[in-house]
Structures are given as structure tokens and as C-alpha cells.
Amino acid sequence: MSDQLSQLKTFTTVVADTGDFEAIRQYQPEDATTNPSLILKAVQQDKYRPLLSEALEWANAQPGDGNKTELAADKLAVMLGARLLQQVPGYVSTEVNAHLSFDTMGTIEKAHQLLDLYRQQGVDTDRILIKIAATWEGIQAARVLEQQGVKCNLTLVFSFTQARACAEAGAYLISPFVGRILDWYKASHPDQDFSEMQDPGVQSVTRIYEYFKQHGYNTVVMGASFRNIGEIQCLAGCDRLTISPALLEELANTQGELPRRLLPGETAKGEQPAQLNEADFRWQMNEDPMATEKLAEGIRQFAADQVRLEQLLRQ
């Protein structure tokens, strides 16, 4: 019997949650995702440090008096993304600056700036996903971008409300954060059993997946932010799963049958309900303290790592 990573690849698209080229070569995922935290972690390794100098040199050579370090950070993300595209056959996600999470027009403009940088490097942008925080403003930016032919990955999804709004906006893909949901519930209910299907992050992704299939939404569900391989095993069969190198290694070293848990044909198709409006979205988020807190925390974390990355470039 083959290892569980090989079995998972037969019914779920495996995505590498890393900017480490060597890990991607080793585990051969279909797609790759990055974020400011992963980029910061990667470029702090000596082997990637020359990319910092190259990005900053390029930014300083550009005309105008704009923020050169921000431009260099964008260039760095694109350089890493272009190299990842050489290693995976599918998509690579590149994230919009988290400081734009509540700025619809700013997000749209930044998305096109990133795509322009990719084109300058001779990259086919059909394989780029623009990664945007799933705030109301971010979701509306994705609605516009998708209509313009730009595929989007809506990240930091913690609630069914966010997932539903993303699907209604026509987002190509969403990233529900399984492990961070579990973190919140473990901190709030330390004595409760959250093993296997009792894991609230697993339950959230399962509900979203079944709802999308039931109502015929084309939005891809990609579980993310896993804390252990048990969560991955419980979501085997999900459209995509983005997995860290450490958990990819653990799956590759785990034998035994991996049964498929999520099946697209198990629920009857139903008519899509009326779309959420902004007031409904904000009220339902207000009623979900976990999603509200984790979304805000995630945006702050990515923004802080973006600042640290720009500080590293300035040095």
C-alpha cells in the first residue's frame, strides 16, 4: 500500500504552503501558496538572501518617488512566485498587501500591479491567483477582478458567512483556516474533546464543501492552516488542501489506508439562495466572535510581517 500523501493526491489537489523551493521539489505538489509570513521566513535563509538585493536594486531603479521598499517587497513576492511556477504545474497564489484589506479599489489596483510585474518577467498570468483577505471589501474587490478575468484566492476564511459571500462573488478559490479555528476553540474551551470530526475547523470546511456542492457553486474549497495530519485525513477528498512541508513529510511517512471523507456527489443539487448583502454579512460576522477575532488577528499578523519584510529590505 502506498503512503498517505500519494493516496491523498488521487482525490485531492495537494498544494504546498511554503516558499521553500526544495520542499516543493521533494513533495511535488500541484500548486503552491505563499503569504507575507512565509516569504519573510524564506528570505531570512542565506540561500534566498540574494533575492532581497535583486528586488531592492530593481525598485531603486524605477522612476518616481514612490515607496521603494513596498515596491521591492512586491517585486520579491513576484520573483518568488515566478520561481514557484517553474516547479509546480498548477497555480501559484500571490498575496495583496494586508494593509489594503479594507480598501476595495486599492486591492484591485494592487492586484493589477502584481500581474504587471509578473508579465514583465515573461510569466503567463493565467496561472497566478491573487490572494486577498476575505473582508467584505476584499470580497467585493474579488468580484470585480473575477469579472475582469483575474482569478482570486480569498484567504483568512473563518466562517460560513465569509465562504458563502466569496462563492456568491464568483471567487475562484477560498482558503478556510482549519487550524486557527481549532486554536480559538481550544483556548476558549480547554477541556473539550476536539479530536477528529469534533475539530471545529474540520466541521467548518466540511459544511462549506457540502454547501458549495449542493448549490452548484464553482468556487474551489482549499483547506489551509493545519495543526496535525488528523485534520488533513478528516478532509481527504476536499477540492484542494494546502499543507506545510512538515505535514507533507509526515503524510509521506505514514502508511495505511486513507479513506476519502468528502464526496461531491453525496448531496442533492438545490437552487442557490439570494445573495448576502453587506448588512447581512457584517451582522453575521458580528455574531461570530471566533471569525471576527481570527480575521482581525490574521490581517494584523500578515501586515506586521509585511512591515518586517520591508524593514529587512531597508537594511
Residues classed as catalytic: 131
Round to whole Å and give the CA distance between 102 and 105. 9
Degrees (nearest 5) of the Cα angle 180, 181, 185? 115
Please give the distance of CA 33 from its chain centroid, rounded to a whole number: 6
CA dist 200 → 7, 40, 189, 215, 271 (Å):
25, 29, 12, 22, 27
Answer for the pair 155, 95: CB distance below 8 angstroms, yes or no: yes
Can you tell me the distance from the alpha carbon of 203 to that of 153, in angstroms, rounded to the nearest whole number?
Answer: 21
C-alpha to C-alpha distance for 54 and 230, rounded to whole angstroms: 41
Residues 6+ apart with CB under 8 A from 101: 107, 132, 133, 135, 137, 138, 299, 303
- Name the one residue in this structure whose C-alpha cell is 502506498: 2
